[in-house]
Amino acid sequence: MDTSSGQAALRILILSADRFEDSELQVPTERLRAAGFNVDIAAPVKGPIRGKHGHLANANLGIDEVQPDAYAALVLPGGEAPARLRHLPEVLDVVRAFVRAGKPVAAICHGPQILAAAGVLAARTVTCYPSVADELKSAGARYRDAEVVVDGNLITSRKPADLPAFVRETLKSLHSAAARPEGVTTS
């Protein structure tokens, strides 16, 4: 994303917590930043969060500080963090706000559990880590076993090995959203 024109870079929100799948937070963060996006990480409490394999990330926001209108897209990494996040009403409210606004929402591995808990999967086609498939089907989703599934503004993937396709489709969705006449929110 070229920000040399003086236009502020689009802001992307990542929601996570301790025990995230390290690569599923780290790779999208790095790739989005390299593409010129500003990336904020929000967690239940502002400060450091630790991945399942020891990666430290800084949550520069508490979830209670998140203003969905300030962001162009939402990313939900997997690991064990989604099992905790899906029980927090403020997380579900944030997810619903992004989906309602038609903004890109990208979830990988166990991340779609948060989408199921938010009640936004009825009649949507998604993928996820195989052990989560029945949960998504129970939430009304159509499950497809593929490295990445794009259904409107939802982008989902199964596992860390799918990160190249996940990031590619997330970036494609962001560029497409930015090109629409109504655009997306900038900071």
Q: For residue 63, name the pLDDT band (cuts at 50, 70, 90).
A: very high
For residue 63, being part of any structural domain is answered with yes
Number of domains in the chain: 1
Of 53, 87, 110, 175, the active-site residue reads 110
- Summarised one tens digit per residue, pLDDT across range 131-160 is 999 999 999 999 999 999 999 999 999 999
pTM of the model: 0.91
Q: Is the pLDDT of residue 184 over 90?
A: no
The residues pairing with 20 across neighbouring beta strands, listed in sequence order, are 51, 79
State the sign of the Cα–Cα–Cα–Cα dihedral 22, 28, 31, 36. negative
Instruction: Tell me whether residue 110 is one of the annotated catalytic residues.
Output: yes
Dump the DSSP string for 13-79. Answer: EEE--TTB-HHHHHHHHHHHHHTT-EEEEEESSSEEEEBTTS-EEEE-EEGGG--GGG-SEEEE--B
Give the domain CATH number at 40: 3.40.50.880
CA–CA separation, 56 and 25 (whole Å):
10
- Summarised one tens digit per residue, pLDDT across range 112-138 is 999 999 999 999 999 999 999 999 999
Look up the domain containing 81 and give its range: 11-177
Q: Is the pLDDT of residue 37 over 70?
A: yes
